[in-house]
Structure 1
Amino acid sequence: MRYIIIGAGAIGGTIGGRLYENGFEVVLVARGAHAAALRTGGLRFATPEGVRALPIPTVTSPGEIGLRPDDVLVLAVKTQHTEGVLAEWAPRPVATDEGDPAGGRTAAELLPVVCAQNGVENERIALRRFRHVYGMYVWMPTSHLEPGRVSASGAPLSGVLRLGRYPCGSDDNARRIAADLEKSVFAAPVSEDVMRWKYGKLLGNVGNALEAVAGPVTGEERTALYRRARQEYEAVLEAAGIPYATVEEQTADRGDRVELQPVAGEGRVGGSSAQSLIRGSGSIETDYLNGEVVLLGRLHGVPTPVNEALQRLADEFARTGRPPGSLSAEELAALG
């Protein structure tokens, strides 16, 4: 299998870097300054073992690579970019022999796409175009703040990547991908109900926006807000009849396999949403995290005022370029 990592940021760069280091064929897909840095100096991959430059082939668009039947598309962009990215990749022809397209058959018809992303909307978006869609529950402490560099601080394993077919079930593709990941410093269990795990992961992700706008979720006031955001989410899941993996279940599943360890030149920078603000990317994934809670609440008649407020604030921070963590004490108090 060849792994095409679409979105070589914190998650995609770590998955691609670990696979490449362990002998698997990998292509990174990136854009702008990040792509230029990857092409010039390779992926600067920082882990508790040290920092190294990995010369992983990098492209900027699907037109720069010929697709093969053994390719796996690993989608690791933020959800707000999923539709546009998949629209580019879905119609690309897949060659059966060198230079011989597979009778006009496309990536959307033939290739598996793995959604290694937060939230629960990506798989639905992908299934509109792709026949073979897989969800991936990702628990992996990583960061990407500067072009060409990705940091992964988990040890002894880099992360837990639970994989399953969408909307449910498993197959040989899932088992082969999981086996490759297991050889590459990950735990990669195959799950018949991967979306239950992804809905469970969102229990923690509802705090991403709070951390992004107000700083670390510590102290009585911020902790209470986070608790209320989670309680709103649990209420909408109950109203919608959606099963989810509890925090306790996720913690027990992870065990001591992934623990935070020091990485040279790296400090605590926050989760993926805070990193988006730090990089000044201009967008943030909150509409598909807290926004998922808001959507379910509106569909099922459950009030979600804390998640609505966090969604609005995070979008404002991303849109206006306001510095992460700069929410004033007065603004924080107003959320309560």
Structure 2
Amino acid sequence: MRYIIIGAGAVGGTIGARLHEGGHEVVLVARGAHLGALRADGLWFGTPEGVRTLRIPAVGGPEDVTLRPDDVLVLAVKSQDTAAALAAWAPRPVDGGGTAAERLPLVCAQNGVENERLALRLFREVLAMFVWMPSTHVAPGRVSANGTPVSGILRMGGYPSGSGGDRAAAIAADLDAAGFSAPVDEGVLRWKYTKLLGNLGNALDAVAGRGADGPGAADGRLEALAERVTAEGAAVLLAAGIPHDDPAELGREAGKTLRLEPVAGEERTGSSSWQSLARGTGSIEADHLNGEIALLARLHGAAAPLNEALQRLAGEFARTGRAPGSLTPAELDALTALAGL
């Protein structure tokens, strides 16, 4: 199988790099300065065991690659970019007849729970993937992954249900051999909803910073807000009847499989949402994380005021180009008042 990684950032770049190092044929799909750097200099890939430059073919979109029947499409863009990516790739012809949507499997290696549903409108075969991967899109052409002894946990199953059959098993075997923990799991959606709860604090991390210098860190308000936004999300999932587990326990379980170690010459940054603000992408995935909770609350007669507020605030940061961690004292006061802290 050939793996086409649609979105070769932190997650996609790490998956593509590891598969390439494992001897698999890989094509990276990127854009802008990142694409230019990949084409000119290759992918700088840093892990705890060392750094190296990988010469992996890189393209700008579906028009730059001839699709084959043995291709696997791995969607690793941010959720806000999913619809555009699906629209571009779904109608592309595949050698021997048919389109990508008709003939190729699509793996959603993404945060949130909406991507698979969007994909299933177009693609016949969709696989859901739970991603636990400490990685960073450091700069154009540069990706680092801090997990060891595996680079990440990639739990995969069929969507909307089932194991995904022989194809999912074959993909999982390739990922497992390439340096990931990649079990096939019919209950993958439960894992993804639990991860969603854990990701609700990403917006807070992005706008306020959760480190020692973040506003409100010294008096404990950031940690209290993070706990409150997660508890609010769990209450909404309960109201919606959606199975999930404790995200803190999920983190402890993941820690049994991988641990974080430094990458030479690189410093770990914030969450994926923090990275979006730092790179000035103009968008952020809060609409599909905190916004998912807001949507479910409205559908099921629950309330999610803190998630709604963080969704709006993170969106405003992204649209106006505000730096990560630049939350003002007044904005922090408003959030803590809303949370009743």
TM-score, with structure 1 as normaliser: 0.96
Question: Once the two structures are superposed, what CA deviation does each residue of 1:79-103 show, in whole Å capped at 9, x if it has no partner?
Answer: 11101111111011111xxxxx32x
Moved more, 10-19 or 261-270: 261-270
What amino acid maps onto 2:100 in structure 1? A
- Which deviations, in whole Å up to 9, do the C-alpha atoms of 1:23-77 show, x marking residues without a partner? 1110000011100100111100011111111000011111111111110000000
Counterpart of 2:214?
none
For 1:145 and 1:231, the matched residues in 2 are separated by 32
* Residue aligned with 1:187, SS: coil
- Asked if structure 2 preserves the Cα contact closer than 8 Å seen for 1:123 and 1:133, the reply is yes
**Greater percentage in strand:** 1
User: Is this contact kept in 2: 1:138–1:159, CA < 8 A?
Assistant: yes
Does residue 143 of the first structure (1) align with residue 136 of the second (2)?
yes
Any stretches of 5+ residues in structure 2 without a counterpart?
Answer: 212-216, 337-341
- Compute the displacement of 1:247 (Å): 2.4
Q: Aligned partners of 2:326, 2:235: CA distance in 1, in Å? A: 30
Residue 249 (structure 1) shift = 4.7
Distance 2:279 2:247 in 1: 29
Paired residues for 1:248-259 under 5 Å:
249-259=249-259
Q: Report the 3-state secondary structure (helix = DSSP H, G, I; strand = E; otherwise coil) of the residue aligned with 2:117.
A: helix
Q: Distance in 2 between matches of 1:16 and 1:207?
A: 27
Match of 1:208 among 202, 213, 218: 202
- Give SS of 1:186's match: coil
- 2:123 corresponds to: 130
Contact 2:198 2:248 in 1 (8 A): no
Deviations 1:122-166 (A, max 9, x none): 000000000000110000000003100001001111110000010
Cα deviation, residue 178, structure 1? 0.4
Name whichever of 217-226 and 269-278 sits farther off: 217-226
TM superposition shift of 1:329? 2.2
User: After superposition, what is the alpha-carbon deviation per residue over 1:164-189, rounded to whole angstroms, capped at 9, x for unaligned?
Assistant: 01011111111000000000110001
- Give SS of 2:138's match: coil
Measure the CA separation in 2 of the matches of 1:36 and 1:45: 16
- The amino acid of 1:287's aligned partner reads D
Structure 1 segment 75-90 matched on structure 2, within 5 A: 75-90=75-90
Q: CA deviation at 1:254?
A: 2.0
Please give the secondary structure, in 2, of the residue aligned with 1:282.
coil
Residue 307 of structure 1 aligns to which amino acid in structure 2? N
Name the residue aligned to 1:98.
Answer: none
The question of whether the paired residues in 2 share the 8 Å contact of 1:280 and 1:318 is answered with: yes
Aligned partners of 1:231, 1:204: CA distance in 2, in Å? 10
CA distance in 2, matches of 1:154, 1:39: 26
The equivalent position to 1:168 in structure 2, one of 158, 161, 166, is 161
**What is the CA distance between 1:190 and its match in structure 2?**
0.4
RMSD: 1.1
Identity, % of aligned positions: 64
In the TM superposition, what whole-angstrom CA distance separates every residue of 1:217-271 from its partner, at most 9, and x where no partner exists? 6551011111111111111111110001332552354243211101112112101
Q: 2: distance between equivalents of 1:93 and 1:36?
A: 26
Count of residues paired in the alignment? 329
Q: 1:183 to 1:246 in 2, by over 3 A?
A: same
Find the aligned partners of 1:334 and 1:252 in 2 and give their Cα distance: 32
Change (3 A) 1:223 1:296: same
Residue 148 (structure 2) aligned to one of 147, 155, 158: 155
